[in-house]
Structure 1
Amino acid sequence: MDVATEPKPEPEPLARSEPAGYGRVFAVREFRAVFAAHAFSLLGLMVSEIALSVLVYRLTRSPLMSALTFALGFLPYLIGGTLLAGIADRFPARRVLVVCDLVCAGFVAVMVLPGAGIAVLLAMRCALATVAPLFQGARMATLTDVLGDGDLFVLGRSLLRIVSQSALLVGFGLGGVLLSVVSPRGALLITVGTFLTSAALLRFGTRRRPARSVGRSALVKDSLRGARQVLADRRVRVLLLLNWVPPMFSVAPEALAAPYADGLGVGAAGLGLLMCALPVGTIAGELYAGSRLRPEARARLALPLVCCTLLPYVGYALHPGLVWSLLLLTVSGAGSAYSLGLDQWFVRAVPEELRGRAMTLSTAGLMTLQGVGMALAGVAAEFAGVAATVTGAGVLGTVCCLLLAVEARRTEGPGDRDGGGGGGA
């Protein structure tokens, strides 16, 4: 049973004249628990993805079925993000997070069973992906409770993104090493442990808070109504699109890295470098913006950055070699520092009673459109080639971002250009 504890004093709000930094975020005790839980659950997901892919391939000897296990990580996001979003606001956030972790641990535990066949494995993979947007949306909304809705929230969310990008660099490598020591089902058992650890950290590391809203109708109906309320606001709608559209185009080089590396003749090592370049740029850009720029500077730079982040892809028109490709991808990744400004605007634009649903919808849309972007890039490359497809993604994506930036400027409030101050917990 949840037991409320008295809140402890948190750090003072970040003053507008002070340089930003991540130290103030880690000074918040509850955030440290959320951060650690995120790291453990993400580690589990990375290990489970590669272990499940290997396990499915060993059972079927089918590359298609192995690839399908990754695709199923994107497809159910839209279902969970729209039909279950109401849970994030109707129940206490800590309870939602802990139950989601326990449910995910249960799904993976079913995969570990020796008798689990292909149908069961893929069904559990879909179930994990359905719960994921609810968990991630509730966690993002919880950050506003823990850190406030000012600059500490922006930096906290930035840290979680940095961990996610870092996991892309090391997670699959660690999973491969792990599979050289234990069986795929043994690796999945480790994933069960990481989910349980995350649940324990959230249960005992964060305090109980009441639900943001009271549901008076069926869950699905309430979730869909909440989505309509979120999307009905013109400002929120354009900020959601700014959060979704650039990543939809930015995944093109990642989706086509294997054929491009093959065309360059750089082998597996070159492919690995191409896959790492975007995350490296993203981490560098976020670290610099979060640690060196003030909130008002990040707000001023958000729209210029979002309009420029896909421009480096136009360089693929020149069929660059490995070194130049890595440079283009790294620069593009660094441009994703625009997210810090968007985060501040988004949390200010969404009413508190809808934050859980809005964050869940944001996560679901992001993951779904990234999957769509990968698929469209593959189809386009079949006809136009890899270089032309990435170039086209850069041109079309930049045009879309420019149009959205104009709309964002039209809908901005009086405090949006200067970051709205530094509010804390």
Structure 2
Amino acid sequence: MTAATDAPPRARGSYAAVLAVREFRAVFAAHLLSLLGVVVCELALSVLVFRLTGSPLLSALTFALGFLPYLVSGTLLSGVADRFPARRVLVVCDLLCATAAAVMALPGMPVPALLALRCVSALVAPVFSGTRAATLGDVLGDGDLFVLGRSLIRLVSQGAQLIGFAAGGLLLTVLAPRTALVLTVTGFLASAALLRLGTRRRSARVRRAPSAPSAPSVPGGPGGTRRLLADRRIRALTLLVWTPPFFLVVPEALAAPYADAVGAGSVGAGLLMCGTPVGAVVGEVLAGTLLSPRARERVALPAAALCLLPFTVFAWRPPLLWALPALVLVGAGMLYTLGVDRWFVDAVPEELRGRAMTLQVSGLMTVQGLGMAAGGAVAEWVPVHWVIAGTGAVGALVTGLVVRWVRSART
């Protein structure tokens, strides 16, 4: 999937150059605030539902509902990102999430209503994420700054996974869940204010894109999605974004039973859950800092094809000391997304970029939820260490086939 040899070299950016863009700093800060709002909301709602019902299943369902609506929203609402001005979409999404959290915080709200409101927030999330991803092209341009800007957004998300739940747990030791939900409201409102005041107003993407015969179908029905999926290259790249994460989440879902099997206890389970996120942060930072844009593209496909293989060491049921480096290596392999981001934005037409990013994000969240469920289901019948090892072998094989498809779909 590399560019032709006579193509001009891509200008190299840096994380510092990305953060020097004032408008990006507003988007970045808003992302951090809304992300903290989501983390606190998930924890607070889970604790609240458990206290009201005493049901571990319903408590866990509050997390699962964060994944399930992505497929519906990404399919039916993906066109919103291109039909309306991006700033308006982002601000409205934040306000809807703030409203949902505010209603959750009301005394006496029944559990079904709390879960329904959680679904509302989850339906909004892929539209927000896809619109923000497309907006980065307007803020940073379509060059290397765009790739590194998306990288910074991902790094913050990984950081929230590492420290957000721990900080939220400490917060809930001093605040009641409903009070914590008020903080969630504040986070979303602050994010909306930053986006409204810190970003430029731009017209809807379909209104400023070059006219095309299929353009009239974009604002309305599914014509834009059909146009995206009709492109063999876009299909291949989208599948490459989705495939490794489907397998990547299996050890995370099975961290508790594996830690128990090797005698590592609850502390070991927590460390196992941190392994791949730590590797992803380290790998992406090193690739974004040390490698040129062209080098990132050269290593993208090999990294994707090989990234899941370290899981196979779990066939020997390694202790925590050896299991953690394997997980970190797998996470580091996710640096392949830097190269794929570059190819994806080059392949997607301008007037469909918001829809494409929303579809990509919603599919990514959906496959991770399915991966967790599949890993847990297989582990009902197969020892956990064999499930993780098999995930590495099967995942490497499937990803290798997708990599071959991407190579054959180059233009």
Taking structure 1 as the reference length, the TM-score comes to 0.91
Q: Which residue pairs with 1:132 in the alignment?
A: 125
The one-character-per-residue Cα deviations of 1:80-108 (angstroms, maximum 9, x if unpaired) are 11111111000000000001000110011
Q: Which residue pairs with 1:30 in the alignment?
A: 23
Q: 2:33 aligns with which of 31, 34, 40?
A: 40
Taking structure 2 as the reference length, the TM-score comes to 0.94
The one-character-per-residue Cα deviations of 1:17-49 (angstroms, maximum 9, x if unpaired) are 876521110111111001000000001111111
Q: Which residue pairs with 2:288 in the alignment?
A: 290
Q: Which residue pairs with 2:47 in the alignment?
A: 54
Aligned 8 A contact 1:281 1:334 in 2: yes
| Matched residue SS, 1:384 | coil
User: How does 1:121-270 map onto structure 2 within 5 Å?
Assistant: 121-213=114-206, 222=221, 224-270=222-268
Superposition CA RMSD, Å: 1.4
Aligned 8 A contact 1:281 1:331 in 2: yes
Q: Which residue pairs with 2:3 in the alignment?
A: none
Q: CA separation in 2, counterparts of 1:155 and 1:244?
A: 20
Aligned 8 A contact 2:14 2:145 in 1: no
Q: Which residue pairs with 2:409 in the alignment?
A: 411
Q: Which residue pairs with 1:372 in the alignment?
A: 370
Decide whether aligned partners of structure 1 residues 216 and 113 sit closer, same or farther in structure 2, where only a CA change above 3 A counts: farther
Q: Which residue pairs with 2:79 in the alignment?
A: 86
Does residue 106 (structure 1) correspond to residue 99 (structure 2)? The answer is yes
Q: CA separation in 2, counterparts of 1:378 and 1:269?
A: 20
Q: CA separation in 1, counterparts of 2:10 and 2:131?
A: 32
Aligned 8 A contact 2:10 2:293 in 1: no
Code of the residue aligned with 2:239 in structure 1: it is: L
Shift of 1:199: 0.4
Does residue 346 (structure 1) correspond to residue 344 (structure 2)? The answer is yes
Q: Which residue pairs with 2:382 in the alignment?
A: 384
Code of the residue aligned with 1:297 in structure 2: it is: A
Code of the residue aligned with 1:165 in structure 2: it is: Q
User: How does 1:286-325 map onto structure 2 within 5 Å?
Assistant: 286-325=284-323
Aligned 8 A contact 1:141 1:356 in 2: yes
Aligned 8 A contact 1:16 1:294 in 2: no
Q: CA separation in 2, counterparts of 1:217 and 1:230?
A: 12
Q: Which residue pairs with 1:10 in the alignment?
A: none
Decide whether aligned partners of structure 1 residues 352 and 18 sit closer, same or farther in structure 2, where only a CA change above 3 A counts: closer
Shift of 1:249: 0.5
Between 349-358 and 269-278, the greater mean CA deviation after superposition? 269-278
Q: CA separation in 2, counterparts of 1:171 and 1:79?
A: 27
Between 48-57 and 402-411, the greater mean CA deviation after superposition? 402-411
Shift of 1:229: 1.3
The one-character-per-residue Cα deviations of 1:109-151 (angstroms, maximum 9, x if unpaired) are 1100102110110000111111100000000000011011111
Q: CA separation in 2, counterparts of 1:41 and 1:123?
A: 20
Between 265-274 and 184-193, the greater mean CA deviation after superposition? 265-274
Q: CA separation in 2, counterparts of 1:207 and 1:393?
A: 45
Percent identity, aligned pairs only?
60
Code of the residue aligned with 2:228 in structure 1: it is: V
Q: CA separation in 2, counterparts of 1:124 and 1:218?
A: 29
Shift of 1:247: 0.1
| Matched residue SS, 2:206 | coil
The one-character-per-residue Cα deviations of 1:195-241 (angstroms, maximum 9, x if unpaired) are 0010011111110111011596797x52x222211111000000000
| Matched residue SS, 1:213 | helix
Q: CA separation in 2, counterparts of 1:81 and 1:173?
A: 30
Q: Which residue pairs with 1:418 in the alignment?
A: none
Q: CA separation in 2, counterparts of 1:368 and 1:236?
A: 18
Q: Which residue pairs with 2:69 in the alignment?
A: 76
| Matched residue SS, 2:205 | coil
Aligned 8 A contact 2:33 2:187 in 1: yes
Q: Which residue pairs with 1:327 in the alignment?
A: 325
The one-character-per-residue Cα deviations of 1:263-320 (angstroms, maximum 9, x if unpaired) are 1111121111111111110000000000110000000000000001100011111111
| Matched residue SS, 1:383 | coil
Q: CA separation in 1, counterparts of 2:216 and 2:53?
A: 47
Unpaired runs of at least 5, structure 1: 1-14, 414-425
Aligned 8 A contact 1:21 1:292 in 2: no
Unpaired runs of at least 5, structure 2: 1-7, 208-214
Alignment length, in residue pairs?
397
